[in-house]
Every structure is written in C-alpha cells, then in structure tokens.
Amino acid sequence: MNDKKVKFAVVGLKSIGNAYVLATNKLPNAEVTAICENNEEIAKKRAAEYGMDKYYTDFYEMIKDGGFDCVILGTPDQIHMEHSVAALEAGYHVLCEKPLALTMEECEKIVEATKKSDKKFMTGQVCRKAPAFIKAKELVDNGEIGELTFIESEYAHDYSYMNKAHWRLDPVKLRHGVIGGGCHAIDLLRWIAGNPEKVMALANKKANPDWPVDENTIAIMQFPNNVIGKIFCGTAVKREYTMRTCLYGTKGTIICDNTSPDLTLFRHAVTDNGQNIYPDVKIPVEINNHNLSAEVAEMADAILNDKEIECTALEGSKTVAVANACVMSAAQGGAPVEPPYLK
Ligand SMILES: NC(=O)c1ccc[n+]([C@@H]2O[C@H](COP(=O)([O-])OP(=O)(O)OC[C@H]3O[C@@H](n4cnc5c(N)ncnc54)[C@H](O)[C@@H]3O)[C@@H](O)[C@H]2O)c1
C-alpha cells in the first residue's frame, strides 16, 4: 500500500481551478502545493483562503520552481495547448480541463508532446465521472437495453450574462460553443458508442446575434455498428443547465441527465396476451456533475501506481475532432464531414 501523496499545482483559480483545489485537498493521496493565477487579486484571495503563504502569477516561474508532480490547468481553452506542452516538456504530469484545445493543430501539438514524454496526461472530460452517466454506460455495456440504435445528448447552458471581454466570446481565437461546451455531449456519446464516422450539423444565433460564434448547434452523427446519434449544444438557452441524454436500444431505453437523482431504465416486455409493455425502473444516482475529485483521484492513482489514464490527450483530441467537424459542417449548411481524428 502506497501512502505517498501526489503534489499538484493548480493554474487558473477563479472558478473551475478553485473547485480543483478543494477537490484535490479532500483526497487522502493528493495535495495542492502550488497555485498560479495571473489575476493577482484572485491569486492573493485564494492563497489566503487555502492558508498558503505563496502564490504565482506567472506560469513559467512556477514550473521552473517546481515542488509538485502534476499540473492541473483550469485556465481558458485558448491557452490549454501552450501550458500543456510547456508542463510536459518541463517534466510534469498534466490534467488539462476540457476541451483539450480549440483546434486540431493545437491538439496535435499536445498529443505529440505526450508521445515524447513519459508523464501521464488526462483530458478532464468530467461527464465520464458523473454517476448517472457511469451507470448508463454500465447498463449499455451489460446489454441491458440490447444493441444501441439511436443515442442523443445535449449541453444546455446560458452564457448570456458574459460580457464581450470574456474569453468565451473572444472574437479572434474563436471558442465555438460546440467545442467548448458541446464537447461534453460529444464525449459522452463517443465514450458510450465509439467514434462518429460522419457528422452533419446546423447552427444559429438569435438570443445574442452580436456574439462571434453561434449559440445553438444541432448535429446528427453516424456512429460505428450502424448506431445513429444526435447532439445539441445551446449556450444561450433559457432554462437551467442540463445534459439530458436518451439511449435507445433494441430491448430498452435509458433516459438520464447529470442533474437528477435517478435515471430511468425502460425494458421492453410482452405480456401473456401479446401486449407490448415498457415497465420502467428508477435507479437512484448521486448528483455530482462536476466530480473533479474522481478525476484527480484517477490521476493520483495513475502516478503512484503507474496505471494508464482513461481519457488521455489522444482521447480528448477525438472529441475536439468531432466538435470541429460540427463547426465545419454547419459552415457548409449541413454538409457531411468526417472528423479529422489524430492517430
Ligand atoms: N468540466 C466542466 O464542466 C467545466 C466547467 C467550467 C469550465 N470548464 C473549463 O475550465 C477552464 C476554465 O474555465 P472557468 O469557467 O473556470 O474560467 P474562469 O474565467 O472562471 O477562470 C479562469 C481563470 O484562469 C485565469 N488565467 C487566465 N490566463 C492565465 C494564465 N496565463 N496564468 C494563470 N491564470 C490564468 C483567469 O484569470 C481566471 O481566473 C476552461 O477550459 C473551461 O472550458 C470546465
């Protein structure tokens, strides 16, 4: 039994990075020993909250000083590539928030850097750690709904409160919603059904016509084994955040999301008098849609015991490839696009 603690450095402390610090320090085999945030006001506030006497405002100064094993990147999508590559080259393990990066060129640079490094790399596709989705995948893998036929998931959020200076609305380094947020729904379906072979998408913007990117994207996809699917990504939808997901199979159906205390499993049956019925079972699940401690726990275990990471850089890049295919298809009015997967 290894009782050593893995030391983590967390970068970007306003929102998700702050959640990573709290999630990491709860674990028995992990601790945050360095923090970096380029907004000094936030950095100082967080250091005081965590009882740390030192903080960094410069990422490169922090990785030069060291004192940790793994860097967690909770920074804007636009700088994931630069910091991922620099951290790997400096000899650190990396846990990078989703999406891995915004373009395939950036993804390729990260994947190539992982190939040259002996360090672990995780793309933080956190839906793989949401209890309802873990249960749904387990039911599918165990054949509870037969063969998959049609699958759909959505990422519904409202970014309308963000002002134009926000990095999510950068007019130059575009952050398409379907890459930044829709990657959750895409990754979930890829995780369950494999890599889409073809994507056809449409997109629009109506609530925020002055945004640099579309706010709604709908995409239909051809998955392996003749499974068809659909994702919806809305970043200006007027409802509470959800990732409503339906998985239809030849023998049953699963309806779930990441904000409800149970998932519904319907199983087809035929009564003695030949009537089709679809009894449903409610399976209780914990609501934990940002289960960051499960990600950090997997990373700590992988480092301590030299285990493989499930959602690697290459895995993360495949989700970005599908999301980029959605953007390309929508730009061509829904033309079929094959995702440009890296090898
Ligand atoms: N897993 C999820 O469900 C989920 C949810 C929200 C955000 N995210 C992802 O997490 C990342 C951060 O999103 P957020 O909502 O926390 O953003 P945010 O804007 O709230 O926080 C980002 C922080 O990074 C800091 N920062 C920017 N450049 C920096 C640099 N060079 N060095 C150090 N700090 C820097 C900013 O000052 C800010 O405090 C994004 O990649 C986003 O897509 C994931």
Asked if the structure places residue 1 within a domain, the reply is no
Asked if the structure places residue 253 within a domain, the reply is yes
Q: Measure the CA–CA gap between 19 and 22, rounded to whole angstroms.
A: 5
Answer yes or no: do 101 and 228 share one domain: no
Q: Is the CB of 42 under 6 A from ligand 1?
A: yes
**Domain range enclosing 206:** 128-289+320-331
Answer yes or no: do 52 and 142 share one domain: no
Output the domain CATH number for residue 265.
3.30.360.10
CA of 175 relative to ligand 1 center, distance in Å: 13
Q: pTM for this one?
A: 0.97
CA of 167 relative to ligand 1 center, distance in Å: 9
Tokens of 112: 């190539």
Answer yes or no: do 38 and 115 share one domain: yes
Count of CA atoms in the C-beta half-sphere (13 A) of 243: 26
Q: Is the CB of 79 under 6 A from ligand 1?
A: yes
Number of other CB atoms surrounding residue 139 within 10 Å: 19
pLDDT band of 2, cuts 50, 70, 90: low
Tokens of 165: 């200076």
Answer yes or no: do 121 and 135 share one domain: no
Asked if the structure places residue 337 within a domain, the reply is no
pLDDT score of 3: 75
Ligand 1 nearest-atom number relative to CA 184: 3
User: 């390309």: which residue's tokens?
Assistant: 328
Answer yes or no: do 243 and 132 share one domain: yes
Asked if the structure places residue 161 within a domain, the reply is yes
Answer yes or no: do 108 and 215 share one domain: no
Candidate of 35, 75, 292 to mutate for ligand 1, largest count of ligand atoms within 8 Å of Cβ: 75
Q: Is the CB of 187 under 6 A from ligand 1?
A: no
Answer yes or no: do 169 and 87 share one domain: no
Closest listed residue to residue 232, CA positions, set 291, 184, 174, 288: 184
Ligand 1 nearest-atom number relative to CA 14: 39
Answer yes or no: do 246 and 281 share one domain: yes
pLDDT tens-digit readout, 44-100: 999 999 999 999 999 999 999 999 999 999 999 999 999 999 999 999 999 999 999
Asked if the structure places residue 254 within a domain, the reply is yes
CA of 75 relative to ligand 1 center, distance in Å: 3
Asked if the structure places residue 202 within a domain, the reply is yes
Answer yes or no: do 213 and 133 share one domain: yes
Answer yes or no: do 141 and 265 share one domain: yes
The total number of structural domains in the chain stands at 2
pLDDT tens-digit readout, 264-283: 999 999 999 999 999 999 99
Asked if the structure places residue 343 within a domain, the reply is no
Evaluate if residue 234 carries a pLDDT over 80: yes
What stretches of 157-300 adopt beta strand conformation (E)?
198-204, 216-223, 227-234, 245-249, 252-256, 262-267, 269-270, 276-277, 280-284
Q: Is the CB of 15 under 6 A from ligand 1?
A: yes
Answer yes or no: do 141 and 283 share one domain: yes
Output the domain CATH number for residue 67.
3.40.50.720
Asked if the structure places residue 180 within a domain, the reply is yes
CA of 268 relative to ligand 1 center, distance in Å: 44
CA of 212 relative to ligand 1 center, distance in Å: 19
pLDDT tens-digit readout, 297-315: 999 999 999 999 999 999 9
Answer yes or no: do 72 and 138 share one domain: no
For the chain, give the percent of residues with pLDDT over 90.
98
Q: Which residue stretches of 200-339 are H helix?
A: 292-305, 313-331
